[in-house]
Chains A and B, each alone.
Chain A
Amino acid sequence: MFFWQLVVSGLSIGSLYALVSLGIVLLYRTSRVLNFAHGEMSMIATMVAYSLLTAGGVAFGPAAVLTLAVAFAAGASFYFLVLRPVKEATLLGQIITTAGFALVLSGMAVVIWGADTKVLPFPLSRAVIYNIGGVFVNQVALGSFVVALVAMLGLYLLVQKTRFGLAMRAVSQNDVAARVLGIPVRRVFAVTWGVSATLGAIAGMLLAPVTLVHPSMMFDPFLKGFAGAVLGGLDSLPGAIVGSLIIGVVENLFGGYVSTSLRTTVAFLIIIAVLLVRPEGLFGHKFMRRV
């Protein structure tokens, strides 16, 4: 029973890593940019939700919707305001720009909201516990698991079943060709940034009851999401989900049976071992290049 309890709590935190991971992968697929500011953007969105819920006095539902809208707008405008101007820089230059942006955001969070830990008023409670076949699950974990599934389904429909998703996939394959075919590439990039930031905001708000709200709350989830994305294969959306769930479960099993102090190291060792066997990740596509 201890084993299953560990697995279930691993899946529950893993599903949140997966949400973070999807945002990273979505962006990487389309623009090849690894967004180091993804975690901080999610954290800022959670702070915005906090302000709306406490100082703003908005009810949870509207506040959540408003936060997602703000996150979408912020993500899209980050593309136009910061990343477009550095488009001449190398890919690594763009990545470092996102890292710089991450620093700016984490600094701003301390300046505006303070460094103290906050509680996001959340409609579900951790104190309500369900017994499912002998395994205990609390309401927050269950709720966030469901929301995460819905968000993933929504993303699947967006990418696979809409014209916009088609444009996104076209851009990710060859953005020059896509431009020639009349696809508004810049708009696609902007919207991709927006969607990625929205996913991050959902992840941030769902993590809030577990991690509580503070400027460095997303440091570890971002790292795990990134690791999950690489494990699954950086260009595969289902891979990101599977990879993140694996990390959540492995981390918990190691923490439960062996040691809680080296579990991040072990998670990374496993990823490295997998990558040595499958360099493109579990579900990634093989590299193909012209010389």
Chain B
Amino acid sequence: MRLLHRSRLALGLALVVAALAALPVMAQERGITPTEIILGTTAPLSGPAAPWGATARGIEAYLQYINEQGGIHGRTIRFEIRDDGYQPPRAVANVLELVERVGVFGIVGMIGSANAAAVRDYIFQNEVIWMTPAVESDPWIGNPNIHYLFVTYPNYYQEAKILARYAVQELGKQRVAIIYQNDQYGMNGLRGVRDALAELGMAPVAEVSYELTDVDLSVHALRIGQARADAVILYATPNHGAMAAAALAQLNPRPQILSSFTLADPIMARLAGAAWDGVIVPSYFPYPGTDEKVDRVLQILVERNPELAAMAFNALAGVTFIEPMLEGFRRAGPNLTKESFVAAMESIQNWDGELLRGVTFGPGRRQGINRIFLARMEGGVPHQLTDWIEYPVEY
């Protein structure tokens, strides 16, 4: 009897396997039916990078809102999310499944340079629409295969150059150091800082890296203190950014922190407390709390998924990934095909969305935005320091 019971369990497992092999839904143009547009993404929803999964949740909540408004030209948008645990092999499996079984029209966003690099060739070969993988720009610059790729994400390298120049030229800092995450994201920041300082005839006085698993950044701060740096450029995740700021705040005199836009998160003031006061942070869309439209979007998201309140920046960033795509759908009209979508996207010129401002694509231009602005944080409230600072369009 017990044996029988357990073999039922085995049967259950077999059914799960069989369900995985279920037949697909085929459409004439992949991912477009008269009533529906199917999009998909793979994101780290579990594992150490899980906070970035909030970008996918933000997209999901925003699309729910769009669907509640009746969708676009009579089509609602279905959004399929897969977990990759920040592992390239799993990201590949997810993208293959989304394209071949689910049959998505496009892949939206994707977190992690490694994951994006692993699926890059497959997506290009199969001519899948790809909206804004949240990675650095290197893989796209000079790449002839990016016809179906559209990116509205700032370039870390260019941003780092702007930060370093601002520290030296506007703030008059003489000893610039950098704390960076030891991965592709941080390395791009490091390269930018080095290059910008070299152009000014200087070099970083300290280059301190940390690992994603590090829990105590006091040594890193002590090294900055030892190098007598008067400005520190920070390329970090929010919790490491907060840890670094708290540790740097114990130095005397305290160096000026300039951070990457990934820390333009309202949560930073809560995580780092007073240590975050005076930090200079760039952004590529208006900060929540300073712009009515942005606040309205955030409200829309939080109403549909209350958990996003604690991850406001990541959720909003998710919306910036998809926002221009929705405009593309609107412009392409009811006869949506892959080519009409590309043509519609290329017609977007200096377009203001709810979050993004001044998005421009065009034939041969896939980089939708090429500017950031800087602000100084005081008590969690940003005070804008500069107007938009542009950098050259690269692809």
Contacts and interface: CB of A to CB of B under 8 A. Distances in A.
**Do any CB atoms of chain A lie under 8 A from CB atoms of chain B in the complex?**
yes
B250 A126 contact: yes
Interface string A232-272: 00000000000000000001100110001101100000000
Contacts of B214: 220
Nearest to A221: B215
B152 to A, nearest CB: 24
Contacts of B208: 260
Contacts of A211: 215-216, 239, 243
Given A2-B222, A212-B239, A115 B50 contact: yes
Interface string B251-282: 00000000000000001001101110000000
Interface residues of A, number: 39
Contacts of B219: 6, 9, 251-252, 255-256, 260, 263
Interface string B200-229: 000000001111011110111011001000
Contacts, number: 101
A114 B243 contact: no
B14 to A, nearest CB: 22
Contacts of B273: 119, 127
A261 B181 CA distance: 10
Contacts of A138: 250
Contacts of A126: 246, 249-250
Contacts of B218: 9, 13, 252
18 contacts: A5-B222, A6-B219, A9-B216, A9-B219, A110-B45, A114-B310, A116-B310, A116-B311, A117-B51, A126-B250, A127-B274, A136-B250, A210-B243, A211-B216, A217-B215, A220-B213, A251-B219, A261-B182
B232 to A, nearest CB: 14
Given A210-B243, A256-B219, A260-B219, A219 B213 contact: yes
Contact of A117 (B210, B220, B223, B271): B271
B7 interface: no
A142 B229 CA distance: 27
Task: Name which of B54, B208, B246, B270 has the most chain A CB atoms within 10 A of its CB.
Answer: B246
Contacts of A118: 310
Nearest to A126: B246
Interface of A: 2, 5-6, 9, 13, 106-107, 110, 114-119, 126-127, 129, 136, 138, 207, 210-212, 214-217, 219-221, 223, 251-252, 255-256, 260-261, 263-264
B50 A110 contact: yes
B267 A116 contact: yes
Given A221-B215, A260-B210, A215 B267 contact: no
A63 to B, nearest CB: 19
A256 B223 contact: yes
Contacts of A219: 48, 213
Contacts of A216: 47-48, 50
A136 B275 CA distance: 17
B274 A117 contact: no
B140 to A, nearest CB: 28
Given A107-B46, A212-B243, A116 B54 contact: yes
Given A107-B46, A127-B274, A127-B275, A116 B243 contact: no
B310 A210 contact: no
Contacts of A212: 239, 242-243, 271
B275 to A, nearest CB: 7
B311 A261 contact: no
Contact of A220 (B51, B215, B226, B267): B215
B238 interface: yes
Contacts of A110: 45-46, 50
Contacts of A9: 216, 218-219, 222
A117 B275 contact: no
B95 to A, nearest CB: 22
Contact of B216 (A114, A117, A210, A214): A210
A127 B247 CA distance: 9
A214 B48 CA distance: 9
Contacts of A264: 211, 213
Interface in B303-351: 307, 310-311
A114 B311 contact: yes
B192 interface: no
B178 to A, nearest CB: 12
A215 B275 CA distance: 23
Contacts of A223: 213
B53 interface: yes
Nearest to B182: A261
Given A212-B239, A220-B213, 7 more contacts: A2-B222, A110-B45, A110-B50, A115-B50, A255-B223, A256-B219, A260-B223
A119 B271 contact: yes
B215 A207 contact: yes
Contacts of A114: 307, 310-311
The 4 closest A-B pairs by CB, nearest first: A115-B50, A255-B219, A117-B239, A211-B215
Nearest to B274: A127
Contacts of A117: 51, 238-239, 242, 267, 271
Nearest to A207: B215
